Amino acid sequence: MAALPSSLSGRVVTDPDVKATYAVDESLGAAAPADYEVVRARDLADVVEVMRFAQQTGTPVVPQGARSGLAGGGVAMQGAVVLNVEALDTVHDVDPLEGVAVAGPGVINADLKQAAAQAGLFYPPDPASSAFCTIGGNVATNAGGLCCVKYGVTADYIRGLQVVLPGGEVIRTGRRTAKGVAGLDLTGLFVGSEGTLGVVTEVTAKLVPAPDPALTVLATFDDLERASAAIIALRQERHRPSLLELMDAATITAVQAVADYGFPQGCAAALIVQSDRPGHTAEDVQRYAAVLESAGAAEVAVADDAQEADALLAGRRALNPALEAKGHRFIEDVCVPIGRLTELIRAGQDIAAKREVEITMSGHGGDGNLHPCFFFDPAVEGSRERAEEAFGDLVSVALELGGTITGEHGVGSLKSRWLAQELGPAELARQRAVKALFDPAGIMNPGRVYWSS
Amino acid sequence: MAALPSSLSGRVVTDPDVKATYAVDESLGAAAPADYEVVRARDLADVVEVMRFAQQTGTPVVPQGARSGLAGGGVAMQGAVVLNVEALDTVHDVDPLEGVAVAGPGVINADLKQAAAQAGLFYPPDPASSAFCTIGGNVATNAGGLCCVKYGVTADYIRGLQVVLPGGEVIRTGRRTAKGVAGLDLTGLFVGSEGTLGVVTEVTAKLVPAPDPALTVLATFDDLERASAAIIALRQERHRPSLLELMDAATITAVQAVADYGFPQGCAAALIVQSDRPGHTAEDVQRYAAVLESAGAAEVAVADDAQEADALLAGRRALNPALEAKGHRFIEDVCVPIGRLTELIRAGQDIAAKREVEITMSGHGGDGNLHPCFFFDPAVEGSRERAEEAFGDLVSVALELGGTITGEHGVGSLKSRWLAQELGPAELARQRAVKALFDPAGIMNPGRVYWSS
């Protein structure tokens, strides 16, 4: 690949071990290519310099933050410069009057929440990786999380962006004022574009009033169908839960194997349900408990205080490391209409049985967005292939049910082969044309999202 | 212009008087051109047919709904076909489980609200024209309204669209599921595009839980500055008002001239403040009343019941007809950061004094979005020109204050001359390039939004 300009020398990672850590994200099969560079930008000027160089030399650019992505959008590629922006981690402004925060893309999600909380405000989106994922990455994937059932996704909170385009042009999209309709709003194009259009260098996020500390109900079920019926009932509550998470038996076993998070043994499914409604958390969780009982829950436990509530949620937050510890896996991220959730769950079980792979079924039930995992043993011949086939089977089922191949992780590398199936060839061509408008040389994360791998 | 295809003959408006009503919207100076056609589409196929014809013949298309626009985006132009979609007025679906409604673009805003309410849900965006404006027009302008201070704007509630592009291709953007990040989301591009990219033929809107019937506080002030200070104080309430409207003395006089809406005589400004928070409206309005008193209100009246509250809001809703009755006017729609509201108000007063025109100052104070009106008398030489200069002066002030030339009405024809000033030449060129991608022949509302008139 072309030599990076000397002006960037202090930003280039040279230590091979350190460099290797910047080659991959958390996606399955991520591996360092033979030839790539890593630039750790310290400011806007560094990003501009990389984007100018990349355009001039036709060098692919892989924008990158905390490398917590699960779809492979941030993995180094052959001959590319990995442009890491985690050092752009300043919260520039929290404006309680306007209800916005302005932050660098490297600000950790939890840190933005904390900055907002200090002003009595709330930045809702909360991927399970909240403690270490960055706002820039959240914007790149239009990240969801646990609170979406009440609060929506990242896109619902992004009011404007500063973006560096290929060639180094710095643009601003959207607005900072409460209203503003002068010209096209390009913000929504960049949210969820997975680094294929430009590099986000500043985010203006909408903040909302702070909720109360959440209270929690935990319900267990003897079968997954009753649990999904309870989800459907809770979705229609006037005061919708602020969290509505599903875990199946295999998931609970994996979490309890790490530490005792208080889940009872031997149930087929658990639902964790929260309310954060100011002044009404205790009332809400009592009502949710009644709904869960009506839907056929085996046991229902209501947390009496915020501490106990936090302890129960800690179990949910431990889910990803627990499943990681369990073994190699393909992680699903399908999302279906809530009314089709039971069908999705049954299909997951059938697929796992047919393909003879182990499955865990968990995720954001209240959104119809599950993360079933298909496990495999690399030492067993055909095991990985069967898990991969199961992964593909479930994607097809999600589309048949009127859902999507990815609810919040992104298409990245792992799901690009199915994008045409969801969008159709005409729409895929249109989206490639939109990309070409911003990235005529095709240097931004080439081969990802829009193209089959 | 080219002859419309005979397949559309039953859709073409031939009666000259009826046709003339479809030539204009509510914008100042709107007038029928010499040569144009009006097609009243009855279904998707009609829209496709018009868009195919228009592309083939290079005929300009002016998409149109209820013709309530104030910026001139829906006015017939020479040689163009006005494509009215108000007959696509079916609410196809209200899905309480998913929390969405699917509606034709011709559905009246208030009718969509009503359909949502029947399912115990709420479609928040409420332009003052709610009783007669259409959802399609709301999408075209990214309409705001009275409840935005709490609930945001139309864009915040549009999850997906069906759009017919020039040439007749029917596309879908966005999603119906709670989450979904497969590919680029083009929805935000079309929301607020003012008919320059395509014709919206179906809208999937997000619904939220129904609020309580609102209660109201009315406060009067001896000067506008104290009123804007009160707005700033109320914006920072944890439970933000669901409505926070400002009216100055001249506005109140005009409204009271139509009927007695209960506003007291002789005050410099009034604020109307509402709460619709379930279970807490009475408590909220009492707290708002205390905030208003602290901010220096001369008089504060709290409506005791929903009926009285409605009566007070009726005065605000009567504002537009009242000002229309007052005479010819340029209607502003600037929006500034809330913290700059007092400066905007002072600038409006100074400009009116300097240009020797009458001004009324009112609007969505809680959003920093005012609709000052500059009145003129066509019979007085130079009167219109001075009002127009005042209009331009205030646009420039809004930009200097970090605001926008248009908060919710759109750029249309009336404000296209200032768009470059807000966006800059590079961004304007980029937006024209985005338009060209969807409308390569430049037939969609040509000359509007992006071009100086």
- Note the pLDDT tens digit of each residue in A225-268: 899 999 999 999 999 999 999 999 999 999 999 988 878 778 89
B420: Cβ–Cβ under 8 A, 6 or more apart, which residues? B428, B452
The strand pairing partners of B217, in sequence order, are B273, B302
* pLDDT of A453 higher than 50: no
A321: Cβ–Cβ under 8 A, 6 or more apart, which residues? A258
Which amino acid belongs to residue B229? A
* pLDDT of B296 higher than 90: yes
Min CA distance, A320 vs chain B (Å)? 20
Determine the pLDDT at residue B452: 55
Least confident of A21-30, A306-315, B374-383: A306-315
Q: Rounded mean pLDDT of chain A?
A: 95
pLDDT band at A197 (very low <50, low <70, confident <90, very high): very high
d(CA A247, CA B308): 49
- pLDDT tens, residue by residue, B191-209: 999 999 999 999 999 999 9
- Cβ of A171 within 8 Å of Cβ of B430? The answer is yes
The ipTM estimated for the assembled molecules is: 0.96
Residue, of A352 and B319, whose pLDDT is higher: A352
Rounded percentage of chain A residues whose pLDDT exceeds 70: 100
- pLDDT tens, residue by residue, A410-434: 999 999 999 999 999 999 999 999 9
B240 touches chain A (CB under 8 A): yes
Nearest to B110 by CA among B74, B79, B146, B140: B146
> Which residues in chain B (382-421) have CB-CB distances under 8 A to chain A?
402-411, 415, 419
d(CA A283, CA A80): 55
Mean pLDDT for B217-228 is: 92
Residue ranges of the alpha helices (H) in B144-280?
148-151, 187-190, 224-235, 249-258
Q: Rounded mean pLDDT of chain B?
A: 95
Mean pLDDT for A207-225 is: 93
B339 touches chain A (CB under 8 A): yes
* pLDDT of B453 higher than 50: no
> Which residues in chain B (40-69) have CB-CB distances under 8 A to chain A?
none
Which amino acid belongs to residue B206? K
d(CA A408, CA A194): 11
d(CA B403, CA B392): 14
> Which residues in chain B (275-314) have CB-CB distances under 8 A to chain A?
278-280
- pLDDT tens, residue by residue, B152-163: 999 999 999 999
- A133 touches A150 (CB < 8 A): no
Residue, of B313 and B56, whose pLDDT is higher: B56
When computed from its CA atoms, the radius of gyration of chain A, rounded to whole angstroms, is 22
Mean pLDDT for A206-234 is: 94
d(CA B139, CA B154): 7
Determine the pLDDT at residue A452: 56
Min CA distance, B205 vs chain A (Å)? 13
Domains of chain A, each with CATH number or no CATH: 6-84 (3.30.43.10), 91-209 (3.30.465.10), 215-320 (3.30.70.2190), 327-414 (3.30.70.2740)
pLDDT band at A314 (very low <50, low <70, confident <90, very high): confident
Question: How many contacts does A have with B, using Cβ atoms within 8 A?
Answer: 225
**Hey, CA dihedral for A302, A304, A310, A311, is it positive or negative?**
negative
Determine the pLDDT at residue A313: 79
Long-range Cβ contacts of B151-157 (<8 Å, 24+ apart): B151/B124, B151/B125, B151/B208, B151/B242, B152/B124, B152/B125, B153/A179, B153/B125, B153/B408, B154/B125, B154/B191, B155/A185, B155/B188, B155/B191, B155/B192, B156/A156, B156/B125, B156/B206, B157/B123, B157/B124, B157/B125, B157/B205, B157/B206, B157/B207
* Token representation of residue B293: 């008193």
Chain length of chain B: 453
- B175 touches A422 (CB < 8 A): no
Residue ranges of the alpha helices (H) in B165-240?
187-190, 224-235
> Which residues in chain B (126-165) have CB-CB distances under 8 A to chain A?
141-142, 144, 148-149, 153, 155-156
Three-state SS sequence of chain A: CCCCCHHHHHHECCCHHHHHHCCCCCCCCCCCCCCEEEEECCCHHHHHHHHHHHHHHCCCEEEECCCCCCCCCCCCCCCEEEEECCCCCCEEEEECCCCEEEECCCCEHHHHHHHHHHCCEECCCCCCCCCCCEHHHHHHHCCCCCCHHHHCCHHHHEEEEEEECCCCCEEEEECCCCCCCCCCCCHHHHCCCCCCCCEEEEEEEECEECCCCCEEEEEEECCHHHHHHHHHHHHCCCCCCCEEEEEEHHHHHHHHHHCCCCCCCCCCEEEEEEECCCCCHHHHHHHHHHHHHHCCCCEEEECCCHHHHHHHHHHHHCHHHHHHHHCEEEECCCECCHHHHHHHHHHHHHHHHHHCCEEECEEEHHHCEECCEEEECCCCCCHHHHHHHHHHHHHHHHHHCCCECCCCCCCCCCCHHHHHHHHCHHHHHHHHHHHHHHCCCCCECCCCCCCCC
Mean pLDDT for B37-52 is: 98
Residue of A nearest to B154 (CA): A179
B135: Cβ–Cβ under 8 A, 6 or more apart, which residues? B103, B104, B105, B106, B107, B108, B109, B112, B203, B205
Q: Buried b vs exposed e over B126-158: b needs ≥16 C-beta within 10 Å? A: bbbbbeebbbbbbbbbbbbbbbbbbbbbbbbbb
A214: Cβ–Cβ under 8 A, 6 or more apart, which residues? A242, A243, A274, A275, A276, A281, A306, A309, A313
Min CA distance, A3 vs chain B (Å)? 30
d(CA A159, CA A205): 5
Q: Any idea which residue has 């008002």 for tokens?
A: B241
Determine the pLDDT at residue B306: 80
Angle at A59 between CA A55 and CA A60, to 5 degrees: 105
* pLDDT of A387 higher than 80: yes
- pLDDT tens, residue by residue, B234-282: 999 999 999 999 999 999 999 999 988 878 778 899 999 999 999 999 9
Min CA distance, B236 vs chain A (Å)? 6
